Chain A
Amino acid sequence: MIALFWTTVLMFLIVPPIAIATEKLRNIGFFIWIYLAVACFGQFVFGLVGLVAGATIQIAAIPGIGIFGSWTFAADPLSDLLFIILGLIGTASFIYAGGHARLKRPGTSYVLMSVVAAQYVFISFLLSAQNGLPMLITWEAMSLCAYAYVLVNHRQKRVRHAAFVTLVASELGFLLLVAAFVLAATPGGSLEMLQMHAALVQRSESTRAIIFLLALFGFGVKSGVVPMQLWMPAAYDVTPPHLNAVLAGALLNLGLFGILRVYSFTFPLPEALGIAVVGLGAVGVFGGALYAVFEGRIRRILAFSSIENVGFMIMAIGMVISFSRAGSTRFAAVAMTALFVQMISHALAKSLCFLSAGEISRRTGRVKLDRLGGLWRVFPASSIAFLVGSLTLAAVAPFSGFVSEWLIFQSLLQAYQRLTGFEQAILALFGAVAALGAAMAFTAFLRLIMFIFSGQARSDDVTQRAAKTRASRTAGAGMAILAVLSALYGFFPTLFLGTLSRVVASLSPHRNVFSSIVPAVFQQPLLNQPLVALGGRLFSFLPMPGAIVEPGAGVAAISPTYLLWWFMVFGLLAFIASRALRRGPYRRRYALPWLGGRAREAQHAQYTATAYANPYRMYWASLIRFRIRRRFIAGDVTLPLQVEVTTQVRPQLESDVYQPLLRRSRKFLSRGLRWIQHGYLWAYLAFMLLVLLLFLIWALLMN
């Protein structure tokens, strides 16, 4: 297995020189991207085998570099899970990228191939680092590669601005991380995780809490933890689709990985911190979903949806903290299982959505919802892929998003069993906010699907352009992999829960709750008599103990598998009925829509996405800073001839917190700089003299 790890790393390492050398060859891009996909698949296999085997694999140990302890690299179950996710997303995305490389799309050049390969090398070492310093180094390198992804179309000003914001956010996060690790290393003097844990356990809880918080915000920049999330919409809007899938599907989980690593050496943490983290997650869920409802560009909606999903994951982390501290390790383990289910579900679905959004924007040339429409006839494959991804992200049963969010809500509802009165009330409030967010996320995705795929095209050139460009079969293959996996993950969640429980067991709750979450209806039918009588042994031929998920005995249970079964049965019945009943008054009749006698103009009379979000805009007006901008192209206020009207929604965090802060700090800095850079030579000389005098006095005092 170690051999597989080093093989994949070597495969990645030789890509940059090969890419540069073969830059001029025709179609070499396609082959190199496929090669990268194979290397990622190797990492996926490495993670899978390691997780199934269950043991921690020692990869390398470099002793005694400086004062920070030895650099050990080992693949424990959490690393294996991340290897699986990143490998899988990488495989699918790079197969897609191969298809796009043939079409000479931006982001498939030799530069990007090298950057991607380098990033995966850094990620391999990031995931297996057991010492803080290599973790920091590889994290920063990984962030810089992500910055390169955003900067692909650097000729446009918008892209440069988005990349700059990404970079600033990454560096801010890195500063917080450095602070966190320095604080963590101070007691014991070493940055090795085991030693840090041993040293920190003896320290006060508040120290550990501060370290955890710094790491939460530091690593959270990559994931989209509020308040570090606002670089994501701008950045996701401008990145090429295959890199976007890696950015949103794979790298996002690295942030959570980092948080979990820090948790592993700073636990136990105070319960209040856990509840505060749940609150932070709830705010993320609500805010992400709220702004997703108003956005007019596909990729920005997906970015806000990522913020929302990460909010759920942060809620789960908060619950792990609170429940562990309150002593109920069982529910902490359930919350952590929910976290991992959500991670995988979100990764698959988000990457799928970004890849299919990329195909849509390539073939129609448009990204705005107000200009699309009626595309399911033109792109049946992309439509289905996008639909699977959207339904998952909107948490519709029986897809995987539903299982994960349901599990998180069930964990939240267990608070009444374990925590005291005030905490119960607060958690109930956060749960309500998150539920509201989940409902709005459904609205956001319904709007997304409706306005891309149904109705008629809202701009005249969409269908013509789509007919002229060809579908890329390689890209379709990449999307198909993710679509099938995402659907399977949702339809048969209990197939995968066993493996995830092993990861949970290796982390701080240290409890394998698989057998209690998934009652073994298939193997022990007598144990669950009513279930079996109701058809609970359907699908018993599959290699899983049961098809029902039950987080707490007697609390609630779901079975997406059986839901799927009944959907199919009723769907079939409806299909048969619709075919059989085609007579008499149920005959099919085609008629124009009634538009006051003007059915020719039906496409312009359709609802637009902006109009659909209107009720929400009116209701949440104070939170979204809604602005209507009118620009006079011809004429003026007294006699307008041609006006361009655009609407703008800005998150309150950006307009009320960050923008004033930026403005004030800019003023302060510029005033300060202006005061120093006055241009008078005598003043500069006097300043130098003053500093020299100060040094002299200090030297004299030191003696």
Chain B
Amino acid sequence: MWAQWLLTGLASGRVTTTYPRHRERELPKHQLNCIPAMNRSCNDAECKECSQVCPTEAITRVQTQAGSSVRLDVGACIACGRCIDQCPESVFAWTEAIDQAEVRRERFISTIEEAPTNDG
């Protein structure tokens, strides 16, 4: 399996990455499964697969006004990938933004609301 950075390097004669200047070009060369993200909401309020299977309690189901929602704390995620494997609705997936860093701790905690029912 040829890593794309190797091919680019051989082609261009340059080894060193140009991150952070050309971030959008550099990051896709690394298909690293290291940070999950939620890209759709969870439709099932009763399913607790993700929070049960997460070894560090990075994923929790919380009760909000709208109902139950999934909270993901990237700052506690060890990238084991069990949530991605276990979730029946494919709420979680690896993101390509593998260089996440924040000044405030709480910005790593993202919540996805339950999608409203088709009733409205």
Whether the complex brings A and B within 8 Å at their CB atoms is answered no
B positions within 8 Å CB-CB of A: none
